[in-house]
Protein backbone atom coordinates (compact mmCIF):
# COMPACT_ATOMS: atom_id res chain seq x y z
CA UNK A 1 0.00 0.00 0.00
CA UNK A 2 1.33 3.41 -0.96
CA UNK A 3 0.74 6.36 1.30
CA UNK A 4 0.07 9.93 0.27
CA UNK A 5 3.23 12.01 0.71
CA UNK A 6 2.84 15.64 1.64
CA UNK A 7 4.79 18.83 2.02
CA UNK A 8 3.89 21.18 4.83
CA UNK A 9 4.47 24.93 4.50
CA UNK A 10 4.87 27.29 7.43
CA UNK A 11 3.93 30.71 6.06
CA UNK A 12 3.92 34.05 7.85
CA UNK A 13 1.72 36.78 6.38
CA UNK A 14 3.38 40.15 7.01
CA UNK A 15 0.90 43.02 6.62
CA UNK A 16 1.91 46.06 4.60
CA UNK A 17 0.49 49.35 5.87
CA UNK A 18 -1.62 50.97 3.17
CA UNK A 19 0.10 54.36 3.45
CA UNK A 20 3.63 53.11 2.62
CA UNK A 21 4.78 53.35 -0.98
CA UNK A 22 8.36 52.12 -0.83
CA UNK A 23 9.54 49.97 2.04
CA UNK A 24 13.06 50.68 3.19
CA UNK A 25 12.72 48.56 6.33
CA UNK A 26 10.59 45.49 7.03
CA UNK A 27 7.07 46.46 8.05
CA UNK A 28 6.16 46.28 11.72
CA UNK A 29 2.59 45.11 12.16
CA UNK A 30 1.44 47.95 14.41
CA UNK A 31 -1.59 50.17 14.12
CA UNK A 32 -1.51 53.93 13.78
CA UNK A 33 -1.60 54.34 17.55
CA UNK A 34 1.44 52.01 17.83
CA UNK A 35 0.00 50.34 20.91
CA UNK A 36 -2.06 47.50 19.49
CA UNK A 37 -1.57 45.15 16.53
CA UNK A 38 -3.37 45.70 13.25
CA UNK A 39 -6.64 43.76 13.19
CA UNK A 40 -6.50 41.48 10.17
CA UNK A 41 -9.60 39.85 8.79
CA UNK A 42 -7.87 36.69 7.70
CA UNK A 43 -8.97 33.12 8.18
CA UNK A 44 -8.20 29.77 6.61
CA UNK A 45 -10.93 30.09 3.98
CA UNK A 46 -9.69 33.49 2.80
CA UNK A 47 -6.12 32.19 2.52
CA UNK A 48 -7.31 29.10 0.63
CA UNK A 49 -9.36 31.12 -1.85
CA UNK A 50 -6.55 33.65 -2.41
CA UNK A 51 -4.07 30.82 -2.94
CA UNK A 52 -6.49 29.15 -5.36
CA UNK A 53 -6.82 32.38 -7.37
CA UNK A 54 -3.04 32.79 -7.40
CA UNK A 55 -2.54 29.25 -8.72
CA UNK A 56 -5.25 29.76 -11.35
CA UNK A 57 -3.91 33.10 -12.55
CA UNK A 58 -0.24 32.06 -12.63
CA UNK A 59 -0.41 28.36 -13.57
CA UNK A 60 -3.85 28.06 -15.16
CA UNK A 61 -6.27 25.15 -15.00
CA UNK A 62 -3.47 22.62 -15.35
CA UNK A 63 -1.76 23.95 -12.22
CA UNK A 64 -4.98 23.99 -10.24
CA UNK A 65 -5.86 20.51 -11.48
CA UNK A 66 -2.55 19.22 -10.13
CA UNK A 67 -2.78 21.07 -6.81
CA UNK A 68 -6.51 21.27 -6.11
CA UNK A 69 -7.10 17.88 -4.51
CA UNK A 70 -4.18 17.97 -2.11
CA UNK A 71 -4.17 21.64 -1.08
CA UNK A 72 -5.56 22.48 2.35
CA UNK A 73 -4.98 25.13 4.99
CA UNK A 74 -4.60 23.20 8.23
CA UNK A 75 -3.92 25.98 10.71
CA UNK A 76 -4.01 29.76 10.88
CA UNK A 77 -3.27 31.90 13.90
CA UNK A 78 -4.68 35.43 13.66
CA UNK A 79 -2.47 36.47 16.58
CA UNK A 80 0.84 35.62 14.93
CA UNK A 81 -0.32 35.58 11.26
CA UNK A 82 1.27 32.16 10.86
CA UNK A 83 -0.34 29.56 8.63
CA UNK A 84 0.30 25.86 7.99
CA UNK A 85 -0.56 24.63 4.49
CA UNK A 86 -0.52 21.01 3.30
CA UNK A 87 0.02 20.02 -0.33
CA UNK A 88 1.13 16.93 -2.22
CA UNK A 89 4.87 16.40 -2.44
CA UNK A 90 5.00 16.50 -6.24
CA UNK A 91 3.09 19.80 -6.45
CA UNK A 92 4.76 21.78 -3.67
CA UNK A 93 6.77 23.96 -6.08
CA UNK A 94 3.56 25.18 -7.74
CA UNK A 95 2.13 26.21 -4.37
CA UNK A 96 5.42 27.83 -3.34
CA UNK A 97 5.42 29.86 -6.55
CA UNK A 98 1.79 30.86 -6.06
CA UNK A 99 2.55 31.94 -2.48
CA UNK A 100 5.49 34.01 -3.68
CA UNK A 101 3.36 35.74 -6.31
CA UNK A 102 0.49 36.37 -3.87
CA UNK A 103 0.40 40.03 -2.85
CA UNK A 104 -2.98 40.54 -1.24
CA UNK A 105 -5.88 38.81 0.41
CA UNK A 106 -9.32 40.42 0.32
CA UNK A 107 -8.01 43.90 -0.59
CA UNK A 108 -5.39 43.84 2.17
CA UNK A 109 -1.73 43.85 1.14
CA UNK A 110 0.53 41.13 2.54
CA UNK A 111 3.99 39.74 2.04
CA UNK A 112 3.81 35.95 2.38
CA UNK A 113 7.03 34.73 3.95
CA UNK A 114 7.61 30.98 3.60
CA UNK A 115 9.44 30.24 6.83
CA UNK A 116 9.81 26.47 6.56
CA UNK A 117 8.94 23.55 4.27
CA UNK A 118 8.84 20.08 5.75
CA UNK A 119 7.71 16.54 5.01
CA UNK A 120 5.96 16.06 8.34
CA UNK A 121 3.61 18.16 10.39
CA UNK A 122 5.67 17.59 13.53
CA UNK A 123 8.70 19.32 12.07
CA UNK A 124 6.61 22.21 10.79
CA UNK A 125 5.16 22.64 14.31
CA UNK A 126 8.66 22.66 15.79
CA UNK A 127 9.69 25.26 13.20
CA UNK A 128 6.63 27.36 14.10
CA UNK A 129 7.57 27.29 17.78
CA UNK A 130 11.16 28.28 16.99
CA UNK A 131 9.98 31.04 14.63
CA UNK A 132 7.59 32.46 17.22
CA UNK A 133 10.38 32.51 19.80
CA UNK A 134 12.66 34.49 17.49
CA UNK A 135 9.87 36.93 16.61
CA UNK A 136 9.06 37.49 20.29
CA UNK A 137 12.75 38.01 21.07
CA UNK A 138 13.00 40.51 18.20
CA UNK A 139 9.96 42.45 19.45
CA UNK A 140 11.33 42.47 23.01
CA UNK A 141 14.66 43.82 21.76
CA UNK A 142 12.85 46.52 19.78
CA UNK A 143 10.74 47.42 22.82
CA UNK A 144 13.85 47.63 25.02
CA UNK A 145 15.61 49.84 22.48
CA UNK A 146 12.50 52.00 22.15
CA UNK A 147 12.29 52.31 25.94
CA UNK A 148 15.95 53.32 26.23
CA UNK A 149 15.56 56.02 23.60
CA UNK A 150 12.61 57.69 25.30
CA UNK A 151 13.60 57.22 28.93
Residue 66 falls inside a structural domain: yes
Which CATH number do you get for residue 55? 3.30.70.3250
Task: Specify if 21 maps to a domain.
Answer: no
Interval 44-78: pLDDT, tens? 999 999 999 999 999 999 999 999 999 999 999 98
CB atoms within 10 A of CB 100: 14
Question: CA 54, 57, 59, 60: dihedral to nearest 10 degrees?
Answer: 130
Alpha-carbon 151 to chain mean position: 35
Asked, for residue 27, whether it belongs to a domain, the answer is: no
Residue 96 within a domain: yes
Residue 125 domain-assigned (yes or no)? yes
pTM for this model (two decimals): 0.79
> What tens digit of pLDDT does each residue of 88-100 get?
999 999 999 999 9
Residue span of the structural domain in which 78 resides: 6-15+35-149
Q: Give how many domains the chain has, as a whole number.
A: 1
Amino acid sequence: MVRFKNRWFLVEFIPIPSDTKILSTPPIPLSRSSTEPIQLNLDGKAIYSALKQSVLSNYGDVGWGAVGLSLSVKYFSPTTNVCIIRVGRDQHKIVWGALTLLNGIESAKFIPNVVHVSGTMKHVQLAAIAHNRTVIARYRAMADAFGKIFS
